[in-house]
Amino acid sequence: MNWALFCRLGCVLGAMFVALAAQPSEAQSLTGNVGSAGVTDGEQAVEVRFGVDDEGAAGARAHYDYSFTGRYQVRLIGAFGKPDAGDWDFSSFTIENWFQWSEEADDNSGFNGGLRLSYGVAPDGDPDEAEIRLTLTDKFAERWEWRANVISELEVGSGRDDGVSLETRGQLTRNFDVDLLGSGGMRFGAEIFSEYGDTTDILGFDDQAHQIGPVVKASWDNGVYLQSAVRFGVTDGADDSMFKIFIGREF
């Protein structure tokens, strides 16, 4: 193993350690992803997401992405949710602004670094949400990729909670020569989500919400892509389990 590869693996382990050492969360993400930092000039995409937990609560999202330049992209998100004993309802409309400040070279040297600024408008007088997300992605050793996100979120408007909620996410995947309906290859790996409570109330580790589990990805030459994952709670404050699936197309 060369020194650059060793450093990259150290970054992966460090990101996962930070996630495990994170503070508490009040809810688990059913449709969240360990987001990419890459932006491609002129690229567009549409995507739908669905997630459900072990108690029957579910969430869904629809996305539209457009990259104005090689450094700036906008994502529009419509989100919907269903409590375990309730009906589906509209949750929020969000505008995300993606900024890429570092780009990985064609030979995989360097890394992709990005920043996302988003604002979500909630219905029925619920507080809005403003979010800042740091995104890092890096491909190494030909087939491997790691991703890390650090997220802070603040409620805005009447009825808002005090403090800033924090979250970390990490993902490590490897490409394998496995054909799924002509995909020409698939990525398999693991991801970890650690959702924080607000900064006014820091709980002990057992009350924090940490989940970890396997993830699989596939993509096709026509721009269609698929991602699915299962996560399991590793602390008392986490949901026991969840499942998610994303389907989209870039064009």
Structure confidence by residue, pLDDT tens digits, 187-219: 999 999 998 778 888 777 787 889 999 999 999
Tell me the average pLDDT across 211-238: 96
Select the CATH number that applies to the domain covering 3-250 from these four: 3.90.1300.10, 3.40.50.2300, 2.60.40.1760, 2.40.160.40.
2.40.160.40
Where are the domains positioned within the chain?
3-250
User: Which has the closest alpha carbon to 118: 134, 140, 141, 136?
Assistant: 134
pLDDT exceeds cutoff 90 at 171 = yes
168 — pLDDT class (breaks 50, 70, 90): very high
Between CA 131 and CA 193 the distance in angstroms is 17
Tell me the average pLDDT across 42-50: 98
Tell me the average pLDDT across 57-63: 97
Supply the pLDDT for residue 8. Answer: 52
